Amino acid sequence: MRASFIRDYTYRGYLPEVKRQISDLAMNGSGIRDTARMLKVSPTTVIGELKNHRHLESVNQAVLEQTPTSTTTALIVRVDEAEMDEM
């Protein structure tokens, strides 16, 4: 089986680095329209990428690594559904 790769995307929303930035901005509290404006993509692209959630992590690893384990208890729960609000 042969694989094909696109070298020059015509729409920025297809770029892997833009998809990664959408996830990063969402995890840092940016709204959908704000993210779309910053990355120069449509809000529909942002929503679609967040629904795919393949780049989202359920735990903020950086915070867990910096927190002393002897005084911290973390409860990690997998959810089936979550709502997202632009506010």
pLDDT in tens, 27-62: 888 899 999 999 999 999 999 988 886 555 556 677
Number of domains in the chain: 1
Is the pTM higher than 0.75? The answer reads no
Residue 64 is which amino acid?
A: L
Neighbours of 41 (CB within 10 A): 21
DSSP label of 45: H
pLDDT at position 11:
81
DSSP label of 69: T
Residue 27 is which amino acid?
A: M
Q: Which domain holds residue 64?
A: 1-87
